[in-house]
Amino acid sequence: MEHELGFTKLCLGIFGIRTFHPITGTSTRWKHWVIVISLTGPCSRCLKKQGTIYKMEEIPSPKPPLHPHCRCHISPMTSIMCGTATKDGIQGADYLLK
């Protein structure tokens, strides 16, 4: 997915299509469970954990890996700077964040 997004941004840049990208950073307060899907697909245990949010100091139980060949991990969440989530800074997420 990360590679697809990079490729899409590259193509949009080449063809001169303007896109909007809010200012983002890495959260220092929150982290989440991320699954890595293999050819056989995620197991049901991992799938249930996908997206679970934890405080940074919290230790998930159980923590990855859950099984042999498990590629799940806990990653800091991406944060969006308040006032930059929308183009005009006054609608949608920006309104809720202020």
Q: Is residue 14 part of a domain?
A: no
Residue 11 lies in a domain: no
Residue 13 lies in a domain: no
- The pLDDT mean for the chain works out to 75
Q: Please tell me the total count of domains within the chain.
A: 1
Q: Is residue 46 part of a domain?
A: yes
Confidence category of residue 4, pLDDT binned at 50, 70, 90? very low
DSSP-derived letter for residue 88 is S
Q: Classify residue 57 by burial, with Cβ atoms within 10 Å: 0-12, 13-18, 19+.
A: exposed
Query: Which amino acid, one-letter code, is at 62?
Result: P
Does residue 16 surpass a pLDDT of 80? no
Residue 79: which domain range? Answer: 23-97
Query: In the chain, what is the greatest distance between 2 CA atoms, to the nearest angstrom?
Result: 47
Average pLDDT over residues 88-96: 56
- The pLDDT of residue 2: 45
Q: State the average pLDDT over residues 19-39.
A: 82
Residue 19 phi, psi dihedral angles, 5° rounding: -125, 160
Tell me, what's the pLDDT at 23?
72
Distance between CA 57 and CA 59 in Å, rounded? 7
